[in-house]
Amino acid sequence: MQDRERTLTLIDTQSGGDVSRIVLDGVGPLPGATVLEKARYLQHEGDGLRRLLLSEPYGDPAMSVDLIVEPSHPEAQAGYIIMEAMGYPLYSGSNTICTATALLQSGTIPMQDGRQEIVLESPAGLARITAENSGGRVRSITTRGEPAYVADEGLSVEVPHYGTVRFDLVWSGAYYAVIDATEHGFHLTSEEQIALTAFGDAFVRAARPGLKEEHPELGAVGPLPFAHFRGPVTAIGDGRYESPSATYVHPGVLCRSPTGTGTSARLALMAQRGEIREGEALETISPRGNRFLGKVLGRARVGEYAALHSTITGSAKMIAHSQLTVDLDDPLVDASDLEHVLSPPVSV
């Protein structure tokens, strides 16, 4: 009888409280000349992997998954495909922080003590990363992904039970609807997490029709996946600011961290409005008190849009290094679009 069990090698990590599962082994080579093409193949032909690792009993929708793949760019040491409850974001700050940490601390990329520069290839392009290492551990990660830009300003939608919601649409690895939390009575505290999730769910369902689903260089990117709630900005020093923030991921997830791409979206919007300048920084604070630091680098262009380069700094911690057994005959496993992407069992 054919062996119906498969094994995945995982490293679970967390950054700002958001858990990322790094898949190091157990998935066969994917078709595609680039990481973007591999991600789109997985999305359309192998989505069973995402559903397996983000669904009970094998996972949880609040987690993320990062599959390590071969890079196509000569500068990159590894590629990674990001999977979340909403689908396949093309870039993510917290996932990049977690992936870089896992690759370095596992020895997949040899770690050097002190400051170390590495390059990873996401579906959106290259992530240029600076790791600060000491004592065999990664102490912090600073990542620079593709530039963010404001796609549309001053939008509004009628949301059932909530009324008119005004927002701005910003691209930062995916489209974000950026909402002023104070307009809706939110202070972005831990006690508001359930209410923020309910608001985010109703908002995204109402706002999706008619919004952009195309990126000028990356093509189709799907319907709106994120709502980012921005709180008041406070100056805390020369060229440094902080602000409470919360990111909702559709469907039904409120991030534990303030999110890297959410922070980059905030920076792009602030820069466009003249509220922050090159070299200045914004520290975002999630409802659980976790923080990321975003820094403005300089201007760029994405198609017709004025865009902004920025970096995000945070840290990740290792939670577990494990092997997951997948029984393809388990009635809770949909093997129809999963089995063909998993590595075959090893003959003994």
Catalytic site residues?
A: 92
- Residue 239: half-sphere exposure toward Cβ, Cα within 13 Å: 9
Got the DSSP string for 264-297? HHHHHHHHHTTSS-TT-EEEEE-TTS-EEEEEEE
Unique residue bearing structure tokens 């040899």 = 110
Interacting residues of 314 by C-beta distance below 8 A, sequence separation 6+: 15, 16, 93, 94, 97, 140, 141, 257, 260, 291, 292, 293
- Which CA distances in Å does 62 have to 86, 147, 238, 254? 10, 26, 36, 8
CA distance 79 to 257: 23
Q: Which of 42, 61, 43, 44 is nearest to 53 (CA)?
A: 61
Q: Is the peptide bond before 244 cis (omega within 30 degrees of 0)?
A: no
275 touches 233 (CB < 8 A): yes
For 265, list phi and psi in degrees, rounded to 5.
Answer: -65, -45
CA distance 57 to 69: 25
CA triplet 158, 246, 152: central angle to 5 degrees? 50
Interacting residues of 108 by C-beta distance below 8 A, sequence separation 6+: 24, 68, 78, 102
**What are residue 292's DSSP bridge partners?**
284
CA distance 268 to 302: 13
Number of Cβ within 10 Å of residue 64's Cβ equals 29
- Which CA distances in Å does 47 have to 82, 184, 200? 12, 36, 25
